[in-house]
Amino acid sequence: EDIKGLSNAMVIGERIENELKASFDVAGHEVFVTGSIGIALSSKAYERPEQILRDADTAMYHAKAHGRARKEVFESGMHAHAVERLRLETDLRRADERNEFVVYYQPVLSLRTKCVVGYEALVRWEHPKRGMLCPADFIQVAEETGIIVTIDRFVLREACRQMCEWQKQLPEKALQFISVNISNKHLAQPDLVEHISDVLNETGLSPASLKLEITENVIIENPAVTAAMLSRLRELGVKLYIDDFGTGYSSLSYLYRLPIDGLKIDRSFIKRMGEKGENMEIVRTILTLAHDLNLDVIAEGVESDHQLGQIDALECEHWQGFLFSKPVESRRARALVGVAPEVSGVGDEGSIGSDQDNVT
């Protein structure tokens, strides 16, 4: 083709897209395909043909990442992004070998007893050059590459070991559970049930003390398979929760059919509750539905006394959030057991507050 510039390249790209829209006959079956197209324009900066192909390939993967079945023109920033992503993926693969992943714990409190009753285990990455990284910095790449399964299993084992140790050290504190997130890819592993059973046996943690959190997206993607897997997990004796409830598009009918024990109200709903009671109806509806189904509820992302008072008035059972403590390493998490700082206006028998700066 006599391509003289970007406009010509785009026209040819559109022509290829249109050709691919036509169906193919494969062994008597009508098959449709789509194509993601990457375009790189020649310039004096290129010294070898393979460099142009490299950048066109980079643009193609950029098109895939932004919805597929489209075309993208290479820009210099794409190459830098691709290099950075490759570096991050390489570092992630080495992180497990170098024991760079660590588990942080965010306390979950009872609104009735005003005490810490459990923890959510959350991964952190102690990167040798970039310092301590939160999940937002690497989880997407971990999920895309499948490394998330290795991370999930590390967190699961360490969290179960730590909770069993705490329960032995602090029997009078009545620590009830540890919550662990299970990613979509991890839930799809055929040996998941056996692996969790092995971890419980190895660590000595009672199955009743383990809560597994899944997202609504898992239910949407494959409800029948998910229900079957959850039933097998339930047979182990572990508790099952839907995380970030209300942010997905799952049918409420699934709540009646899935073998779940509780819901976690997404922090976005808690954040929207105003000082005058506005935007409380969604939270009220979720709590009413959960109570009708005899499900436990945990409110995530509680950051103010007012929010805590609102969910208390709505008879929510448990909560977690920065009002009491951000996720912390195990030593500080243990020190929070039994701590009940003061907060005004919550409950009749006492109060909970945010004096975590005085906790060591």
* 226-254 pLDDT per residue, tens: 889 999 999 999 999 999 887 766 566 77
- pLDDT per position as a tens digit, 63-79: 887 777 888 888 777 77
What length is written for the chain? 360
pLDDT of 204 above 80: yes
Residues 149 and 221 in one domain: yes
For residue 339, what are its two tokens? 């701590």
pLDDT-above-90 percentage for the chain: 55
- What whole-number distance in Å separates Cα of residue 314 and Cα of residue 279? 13
| Residue 9, pLDDT score | 78
Residue 193 CB-density burial (10 A; 0-12 exposed, 13-18 middle, 19+ buried): middle
Residues 42 and 106 in one domain: no
The more confident residue out of 97 and 349 is 97
Residues 188 and 261 in one domain: yes
pLDDT-above-70 percentage for the chain: 90
- Inside any domain, residue 91: no
Residues 227 and 307 in one domain: yes
State the residue range of the domain holding 140.
Answer: 100-336
> For 252-293, what is the HEC assignment?
CHHHHHCCCCEEEECHHHHHHCCCCCCCCHHHHHHHHHHHHC
Residues 36 and 131 in one domain: no
Residues 41 and 105 in one domain: no
| Residue 192, pLDDT score | 96
Helix (H) or strand (E) holding 123: strand 116-127
Helix (H) or strand (E) holding 233: helix 223-236
| Residue 134, pLDDT score | 95
| Residue 298, pLDDT score | 97
- Inside any domain, residue 310: yes
DSSP assignment of 173-219, as one string?
G---EEEEE--HHHHT-TTHHHHHHHHHHHH---GGGEEEEEEHHHH
- Inside any domain, residue 346: no
Domain-ending residue, one of 74, 109, 125: 74
The CATH number of residue 308's host domain is: 3.20.20.450
Please, which pLDDT band fits residue 345 given cuts at 50, 70 and 90? very low
- pLDDT per position as a tens digit, 33-43: 888 888 888 87
| Residue 344, pLDDT score | 46
- Inside any domain, residue 85: no
- Inside any domain, residue 348: no
| Residue 52, pLDDT score | 84
Q: Are 337 and 170 in contact (CB under 8 A)?
A: yes
Domain-ending residue, one of 74, 91, 124: 74
pLDDT of 357 above 50: no
pLDDT of 360 above 50: no
DSSP state of 328: B
pLDDT of 2 above 70: no
- What whole-number distance in Å separates Cα of residue 325 and Cα of residue 181? 19
pLDDT of 187 above 90: yes
Residues 119 and 24 in one domain: no
Mean local confidence (pLDDT), 89-114: 94
- Inside any domain, residue 228: yes
- What whole-number distance in Å separates Cα of residue 141 and Cα of residue 276? 41
Residues 136 and 45 in one domain: no
Provide the mean pLDDT of the chain.
Answer: 86
The CATH number of residue 50's host domain is: 3.30.70.270
- Inside any domain, residue 360: no
Residues 15 and 144 in one domain: no
Split into its structural domains, the chain has a count of 2
- What whole-number distance in Å separates Cα of residue 48 and Cα of residue 326? 52
For residue 357, what are its two tokens? 């700066």
Domain-ending residue, one of 74, 91, 114: 74
For residue 293, what are its two tokens? 């189904």
- Inside any domain, residue 28: yes
- C-alpha separations of 155 from 49, 148, 165, 336 in Å: 45, 10, 15, 20
Residues 70 and 105 in one domain: no
What are the two backbone dihedrals, phi and then psi, of residue 267, each rounded to the nearest 5 degrees?
Answer: -60, -25
The more confident residue out of 112 and 12 is 112
Helix (H) or strand (E) holding 221: helix 216-221
Residues 258 and 198 in one domain: yes
For residue 176, what are its two tokens? 């009830």
Mean local confidence (pLDDT), 170-179: 88
| Residue 143, pLDDT score | 92
pLDDT of 166 above 80: yes
Residues 121 and 21 in one domain: no
Please, which pLDDT band fits residue 351 given cuts at 50, 70 and 90? very low
Q: Are 227 and 193 in contact (CB under 8 A)?
A: no
- pLDDT per position as a tens digit, 113-156: 889 999 999 999 999 999 999 999 999 999 989 999 999 999 99
